[in-house]
Amino acid sequence: MHHCSKTRTARRPIVVLLLSAAALLIGGCGSAPPRPPIPFKAIALVPVLSPAKLYTDNRMVPLPVLPVLIASSIANRAKSAEFSRQMEKSRSEMGPQFTRMLLEELQARGFAVHVLEGIARPPTDPEGIDYATLPTQDAVLHVYFNDVSMESSRLSSSYVPRVNIDVVFLPRGDRPDDGISLDYRYGADANGDDKSWSIPSDPKYRFPDFGALIARAGDVSESWQEAMREMARRIARDLPRPE
């Protein structure tokens, strides 16, 4: 089965780019007859890693005067570092939490699923997994964080959450050209034009300024929890059914 999805990020692991290239070589999106789906009975879930970093992104444009621009850049970096320190515990727990949510939602949809432990990960690219070498005959599900942050847009001082993930599903690990590539966007990068991948954040998770982010750290973490839970539901909904 092939799924041709819009690519809204350039920060995918190389293996996903290779997967997409292979799909194009065999006919591209919709130009070739669909290949019959590869049957599978169970899913081996790659444990989700916690995001490597958190940050704040303040895009408000200060006065176009060099000293002001420099001062603004320094202040933004300092705020981002403070935010990362404040949220470190939440960051470190996100991978195990998301793994658990995926297990729960997949099982609720009737999938037989187990966590694939002991995976060899390249030290310089932990998400760059060689699927063909994984010790399983089951389908492989690999979910990874692309971006976790809080964004303040150019026209507002308020911050909103951003959680972006990418998904690779392979009915067989040694058949990457038959894989499915999905992605989901929560909060800042959500777009109402496509409800399948776009998940708007609740207005209660809008923070009026940086001070509110620090004071309401629990709400920030809660917004990420909401994102992960809804993304787990959608992944379970969007995967092909076992045979």
Domain segments of the chain as ranges: 19-28+37-110+139-238
Strand pairing partners for 207?
159
Buried b vs exposed e over 88-125: b needs ≥16 C-beta within 10 Å?
Answer: eebbeebbebbbebbbebbeeeebebeebeebeeeeee
Q: How far apart are CA 223 and CA 229, in angstroms?
A: 10
Contact 125, 13 (CB under 8 A): yes
Reading the chain (243 residues) residue by residue, the pLDDT tens digits are: 334 443 334 344 444 444 544 444 444 444 455 566 678 999 999 999 999 999 987 765 444 544 544 444 545 666 778 887 899 999 999 999 999 999 999 999 999 999 999 898 999 999 999 998 999 999 999 999 999 999 987 777 799 999 999 999 999 877 877 899 999 999 999 987 778 899 999 999 999 988 898 999 999 999 999 999 999 999 999 999 887
